[in-house]
Amino acid sequence: MIGIKSIKEDALVKAKFKDGGEWPTFNDCPVPSGSWKKNYDSHQKLYNGVLISGLIASIGAAVVMGMFVDFNFIMPEYPYKEEKDEEEGEGEGEGEGEGEE
């Protein structure tokens, strides 16, 4: 059991902070360093790439769907207009009225 006790004691390593204490303080918080402009520009480069690729994908999808899918953005013409006009014209000249026998 002596071996197990020493392993437990070794596992409890105290944290070493900058100021040398056992508890963290504000002095242990990370401090910004380096050029903020360089970091900002690198992030903006990534964000602009994502934006442009999203726009290209959206426009490409709209073009492909427009080529293959009919969304009926414009109301189509009534398909039976010509047939209806022809039926009305045929009935007048045949003489099938009520007065004729």
pLDDT digits (tens, 9 = 90+) for 30-78: 888 999 999 999 999 999 999 999 999 999 999 998 888 777 777 767 7
H or E, element range at 57: helix 36-68
pTM (two decimals): 0.45
**Residue 17 to residues 11, 12, 23, 57, 94, Cα–Cα distance (Å):** 18, 15, 8, 49, 108
d(CA 89, CA 93): 8
